[in-house]
Each structure stands twice: as structure tokens, then as C-alpha cells.
């Protein structure tokens, strides 16, 4: 009973946090792009004269989406048309279940892993869910009885399948180094240190090439500029061209949730997840010889904090990329995916294998 | 490749007389042609686009952090004079206008507050949009002769050429109110009468 309750609280908490971050991202996106382009950004929505730096635009957006007409085009497959946005957002959200947001919290003698679902194949599970997310895109394009939407759906399917292969191949290197698919174990393994204890054994330090490849492929997976070919605002508007109201809002949210998911995944795989440099389960051990004892609770809180700081950093990077680069052409996209990223990730696997055997 | 561009340069120089007319223009053209024919292949690193991508990210991030820093300073009331954005928050803070900018018209007044215009019809005649409509009446002062009984400008038609101001012999009409945001719900309201024009 207790276990069920704990799991319930954990998953509800994760869901709330993710929704909160994704909602906040609409604001972050506006403000960050504004700052990058020397503008002020959205600041007109007020409540009783308070602007709160434009934060109320989030509520204004939701109100707008909810009050719009839900339009279903003639000749559309109603069932699939209504199903698609739910698929999109659901599969983006369930991926978070396997992401550890913190270490081991000891409560009344209970050891609780701060992870909604403690899977030993977490990584494969997340990848499976991300692949399922393609169905949302494909079905939306297929069911709306619109050529542009159809084109967007096809593009989306082709792009996401090609980049998924690269993604999986890129993290194979990380899996080989840490020898596990369990993300909690993977985070724990990244708590080791290299070079006399100065540099933590994070994925980004042991697998830099894999990190770059994964960053690129993951950016493509979020379907945002420079990889927004399924959407392509200026050419085909994309797979959700026929959607309006909150169903469009769901696709919009799914993109942002995926951005958070990708950022969280990169944090977990490459930046040690909830690891804080030099923080061990019983306090700080500095490489220059200092020691600062800490009990379990502050250590866990620090870990969760560090996880979210790293996630914010990756979200910031993804946003900066989105607002800096122009969109790829379709053939460039496929060239990049199949001719550069995939071979590079295969080479990375080979090199990693050789190095591991040598170090044995 | 180097040989070919050298040949092209010599060819161009044949047509180029450094003392002739349009010398500087020709020079610019030549330089452009030289540059185009001198385009080189990208090397391996440049072909990955990574250096240029990084450069782009660096540029936008620089702007981001610069502006963020000053926004934070502004929150604490510091360095208010250094702006963190190049935009103006329009209705509250209009953009500074040039002194000679032609804005909405006004009719100037004499010392006693009456209208300065003598209804000479010069502005009505020269107006290319034919949007000025004056009805003259006799002025009680025989030295002034006439005054406008009615003076209407249809701002819905006006093209803001400023000819009326140039034509006026009495300095009676000016375009210096600095008002640009003229909007009305009906076309009729766009016609400004003497009273509205004299109010400034
Ligand atoms: S500015 Fe030009 S168009 Fe407008 S009233 Fe004067 S003369 Fe006519
Ligand atoms: S030109 Fe000047 S004086 Fe003559 S009618 Fe126009 S405003 Fe009046």
C-alpha cells in the first residue's frame, strides 16, 4: 500500500513538474528569442495592472486555445483525427516515468528511488515511447484529408525514423561504457571519477562524440527549427494544419514536452543526471582533500536541484539553437542523418569497443 | 585557378580608367567581380559548418547575455540609461521623431487667438490630393480682407506632401504637431475642421 502511494506521489509530481516546465517554456521561448534579438518580448497581458514580465501570456494562450472552435475538416477520418494529438502528447509524457530526477531518498528507513518507474530497461523504454510519438504526427497528417498535412506527416515519419537510428547508435557508446540500461544505475555509475578524482566520469567526458551526435539527433527528434520540416511554417504549415483550438495546443505542448524530455535524457546520459561534482552519498569529498559531511536529505535535495539546473541548461541550448539557425533543406536533412551522423555514430561504437578492450 | 583570376583582373582593368567619370563606381564593380571570380572551395572543417554554426550561436548568445544582464540591472534600478532592447514600447513611449518630420497639420493663430489664415486659397490650389476645402468670408479688418469661414482637411486623403505648408504666404498652416496616430471609426471623422486644426 505504502509503495503504491509513494509511486503515485512520484509520478504525479513528475507529471506536474513536466507540465509546469513545458507551460513555462512558451514564456521562456518568447522571452529568450526576444532577448536574443534585442526585443522586449510579450509583455501586454496584465492582471490588475500587473505584468509579471509577461508570465500571464501563458494563461492568455490557454484561454484563447480553449475558446476557439474545434474544427474537423470534411472528409477527415474523425476517429484518427481526434486520436492523433492525444497520442502525440501521451507518448511524449510517459517517457518521463523512467527518468530519475534524484538519488536515493531514505524516509523512515525506506529507501525510495526518485524515479517514477524503476525499470531495468529504462533507456529502451524511453526510446520505444519516443518512436511511438511518431504515430501522432503520421496519423494527424494522414487523417486530416489535406495534402499539405499529408506531406508534413510523411516528412515527419521519414525524419524521425532516420534520426532515431542515429540516436540509438549514438548512445550505444554510453551504454557500452557504463554497462547498463537502467538509468538510475547509469547515473550512479557516473558518480565515479577519472584522472585522480578531478574530473567526474560523466558521459560527456567519456563519450564526447556521442554527446554531439545525440544532441543533433535529439534536436531533430523534437521537430523544431532547424529540423522543423514536418512543420515548415513557411512552406507547408505541416501535419497539424487542420487542427485548431486545444488540439493544436496539444501538438504545441507535445513539442515542448519533447524538448524537456530530450533535455532530461541528455542530462541523465551525459551530465550525470542528479550527480553533483564531488558529492557522495555522505557528503562532499573534494579532490584537494576537504570533506564536508551531509545527511541524506540535503544530498538528495542538492541532487534534484542539480538535475533541474542541468535540464534548464540543455533547454536553453535547444532554444538558442532553435532561434539561431535556419531550417534545413529536405535533402540536406537526409544527407546529414544518413551520410554523416549515422556513420559517425557507428565509428564511435567501434572506437569505444576497441578502447574498452584495451583498458581491460 | 590563380592564373584565371589574374587574367580576369587584367581584362577588367582594360575597361577601367582610373581618372574617368564614375571611377569609384567602376572600382567597386571591379572589386566585386574580382571577389566573385576569386571564390574558393571550402576546406574540410568549413564543410562541416561547425565553426560557422558556433559563430552564430556565439553571436546570439552574446546578445542574450548582454540584454539579460541589463534587464536584471534595470530591475534593481541600475544603469537605466543603457537600454536592453532596441525597440520602443509604442503607445506608452513613442519613438523620438525627427524635427523636420511632416506630421498632422495645425492652423497657427495671431496674438489675439484668431486664425492667421487669410483664405488666399494657395494651399487648396497646390494640394495634389485635393483634400483641403476652404470657404472664405470677409474679415472685419479691411487690412486682412478675408478669413476662412470653414477650413477642412480630409486627412483620409492627404498624402502628407507638405506642399500646403510650402505654399502658404502667411505661415498660417504648419505640420509640426508630432501627431502620427490619426485613427477614426468613420471617414467623416477623418475630415478635420477649423476648430480641430486650431486646437493643435
Ligand atoms: S500635405 Fe499635401 S496632400 Fe496634405 S493637405 Fe497639404 S498639400 Fe494637401
Ligand atoms: S495658403 Fe495659408 S493663408 Fe492661404 S488659404 Fe492656405 S493656410 Fe490660409
pLDDT digits (tens, 9 = 90+) for B34-68: 777 767 777 888 877 888 889 999 999 999 999 99
Q: What is the pTM of this model?
A: 0.82
Express each pLDDT in A152-180 by its tens digit.
999 988 988 889 899 999 999 999 998 88
Grid coordinates belonging to A78: 474523425
The count of domains in chain B is 2
Yes or no, beta carbons of B60 and A324 under 8 Å apart: yes
Rg of chain A over Cα atoms, rounded to whole angstroms, equals 22
Any domain includes B5: no
Verify that B116 and B58 share a domain, yes or no: no
Choose among A36, A321, A325: nearest Cβ to B63.
A36
Task: Write down the ipTM of this complex.
Answer: 0.85
**Would you place residue A74 in the very low, low, confident or very high pLDDT band (cuts 50, 70, 90)?**
confident
Yes or no, beta carbons of A321 and B57 under 8 Å apart: yes
Verify that B53 and B128 share a domain, yes or no: no
Number of neighbours of residue A240 by Cβ within 10 angstroms:
27
Verify that B144 and B61 share a domain, yes or no: no
Distance from CA of B189 to the nearest CA of A (A): 29
Yes or no, beta carbons of A32 and B67 under 8 Å apart: no
Verify that B142 and B57 share a domain, yes or no: no
Q: B173 in ligand 1 pocket by Cβ < 6 Å?
A: no
What is the model's pLDDT at position A1?
A: 64
Ligand 2 nearest-atom number relative to CA B171:
2
Nearest C-alpha neighbor of A142 from the set A80, A235, A71, A224:
A80
Angle between helices B23-37 and B2-14 (to 10 degrees): 160
Q: Using DSSP bridges, classify how beta strands B146-154 and B132-138 pair: parallel, antiparallel or unpaired.
A: antiparallel
Grid coordinates belonging to B12: 577588367
Angle between helices A296-322 and A2-36 (to 10 degrees): 40
Nearest C-alpha neighbor of A89 from the set A254, A259, A284:
A254
Verify that B68 and B136 share a domain, yes or no: no
Number of neighbours of residue B77 by Cβ within 10 angstroms:
7
Verify that B190 and B117 share a domain, yes or no: yes
Yes or no, beta carbons of B63 and A35 under 8 Å apart: yes
Express each pLDDT in A43-70 by its tens digit.
888 888 787 788 888 888 889 999 998 8
Verify that B126 and B60 share a domain, yes or no: no
User: Residue A19: helix, strand or coil by DSSP?
Assistant: helix
Distance from CA of A321 to the nearest CA of B (A): 7
Structural domain including B181 reads 106-199
* Burial of residue A292, with CB atoms counted within 10 A of its CB: 0-12 exposed, 13-18 middle, 19 or more buried: exposed
Verify that B193 and B134 share a domain, yes or no: yes
Q: B123 in ligand 2 pocket by Cβ < 6 Å?
A: yes
Verify that B110 and B141 share a domain, yes or no: yes
**Would you place residue A282 in the very low, low, confident or very high pLDDT band (cuts 50, 70, 90)?**
confident
More confident: B28 or A76: A76
What Å distances lie between residue B166 and B145, B148, B163, B172, B180, CA to CA?
A: 22, 19, 5, 10, 20
Chain B nearest-CA residue for A36: B64
Q: B156 in ligand 1 pocket by Cβ < 6 Å?
A: no
CB burial of A18-34 (b: ≥16 within 10 Å; e: otherwise) equals beebbbebbbbbbbbbb
Any domain includes B52: yes
Verify that B58 and B126 share a domain, yes or no: no
Verify that B126 and B160 share a domain, yes or no: yes
Verify that B82 and B118 share a domain, yes or no: no
Block residue for cell numbers 468613420: B186
Amino acid at each position: 500500500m505504502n509503495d503504491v502511494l509513494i509511486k503515485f506521489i512520484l509520478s504525479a509530481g513528475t507529471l506536474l513538474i513536466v507540465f509546469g516546465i513545458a507551460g513555462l517554456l512558451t514564456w521562456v521561448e518568447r522571452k529568450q528569442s526576444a532577448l536574443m534579438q534585442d526585443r522586449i518580448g510579450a509583455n501586454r497581458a496584465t492582471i490588475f495592472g500587473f505584468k509579471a514580465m509577461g508570465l500571464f501570456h501563458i494563461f492568455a494562450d490557454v484561454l484563447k486555445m480553449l475558446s476557439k472552435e474545434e474544427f474537423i475538416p470534411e472528409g477527415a477520418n474523425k476517429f484518427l483525427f481526434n486520436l492523433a494529438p492525444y497520442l502525440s502528447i501521451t507518448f511524449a509524457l510517459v517517457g518521463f516515468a523512467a527518468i530519475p530526477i534524484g538519488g536515493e531518498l531514505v524516509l523512515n528507513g525506506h529507501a525510495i528511488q526518485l524515479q517514477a518507474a524503476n525499470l531495468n530497461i529504462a533507456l529502451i523504454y524511453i526510446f520505444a515511447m519516443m518512436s511511438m510519438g511518431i504515430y501522432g504526427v503520421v496519423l494527424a497528417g494522414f487523417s486530416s484529408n489535406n495534402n499539405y498535412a499529408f506531406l508534413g506527416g510523411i516528412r515527419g515519419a521519414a525524419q524521425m525514423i532516420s534520426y532515431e537510428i542515429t540516436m540509438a547508435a549514438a548512445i550505444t557508446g554510453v551504454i557500452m561504457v557504463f554497462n547498463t540500461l537502467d538509468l538510475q544505475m547509469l547515473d550512479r555509475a557516473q558518480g565515479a571519477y577519472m584522472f585522480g578524482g578531478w574530473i567526474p566520469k560523466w558521459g560527456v567526458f567519456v563519450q564526447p562524440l556521442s554527446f554531439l551526435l545525440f544532441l543533433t539527433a535529439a534536436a531533430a527528434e523534437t521537430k523544431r527549427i532547424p529540423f522543423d520540416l514536418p512543420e515548415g511554417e513557411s512552406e507547408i504549415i505541416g501535419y497539424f494544419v487542420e487542427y485548431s483550438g486545444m488540439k493544436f495546443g496539444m501538438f504545441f505542448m507535445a513539442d515542448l514536452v519533447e524538448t524537456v524530455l530530450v533535455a532530461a535524457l541528455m542530462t541523465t546520459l551525459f551530465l550525470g543526471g542528479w550527480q553533483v561534482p564531488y558529492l557522495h552519498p555522505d557528503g562532499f569529498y573534494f579532490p584537494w582533500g576537504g570533506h564536508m559531511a551531509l545527511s541524506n536529505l540535503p544530498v538528495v535535495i542538492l541532487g534534484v536541484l542539480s538535475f533541474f539546473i542541468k535540464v534548464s541548461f540543455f533547454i536553453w541550448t535547444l532554444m538558442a539553437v532553435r532561434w539561431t539557425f535556419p531550417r534545413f533543406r529536405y535533402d540536406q536533412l537526409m544527407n546529414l542523418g544518413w551520410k554523416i551522423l549515422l556513420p559517425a555514430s557507428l565509428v564511435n561504437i567501434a572506437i569505444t569497443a576497441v578502447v574498452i578492450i584495451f583498458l581491460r | 585557378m590563380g592564373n584565371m583570376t589574374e587574367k580576369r583582373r587584367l581584362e577588367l582593368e582594360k575597361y577601367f580608367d582610373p581618372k574617368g567619370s564614375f571611377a569609384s563606381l567602376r572600382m567597386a564593380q571591379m572589386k566585386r567581380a574580382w571577389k566573385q571570380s576569386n571564390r574558393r572551395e571550402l576546406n574540410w572543417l568549413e564543410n562541416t559548418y561547425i565553426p560557422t554554426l558556433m559563430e552564430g550561436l556565439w553571436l546570439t548568445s552574446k546578445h542574450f547575455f548582454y540584454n539579460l544582464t541589463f534587464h536584471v540591472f534595470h530591475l534593481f534600478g541600475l544603469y537605466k540609461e543603457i537600454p536592453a532592447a532596441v525597440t520602443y514600447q509604442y503607445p506608452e513611449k513613442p519613438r523620438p521623431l525627427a524635427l523636420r518630420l511632416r506630421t498632422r497639420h495645425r492652423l497657427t493663430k495671431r496674438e489675439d487667438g484668431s486664425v492667421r489664415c487669410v483664405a488666399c486659397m494657395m494651399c487648396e490650389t497646390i494640394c495634389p490630393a485635393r483634400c483641403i476645402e476652404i470657404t472664405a468670408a470677409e474679415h472685419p479688418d479691411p487690412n486682412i480682407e478675408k478669413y476662412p469661414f470653414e477650413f477642412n482637411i480630409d486627412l483620409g486623403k492627404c498624402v502628407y506632401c507638405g506642399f500646403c505648408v510650402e505654399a502658404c504666404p502667411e505661415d498660417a498652416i504648419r505640420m509640426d504637431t508630432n501627431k502620427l496616430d490619426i485613427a477614426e471609426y468613420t471617414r467623416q471623422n477623418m475630415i478635420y475642421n477649423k476648430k480641430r486644426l486650431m486646437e493643435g
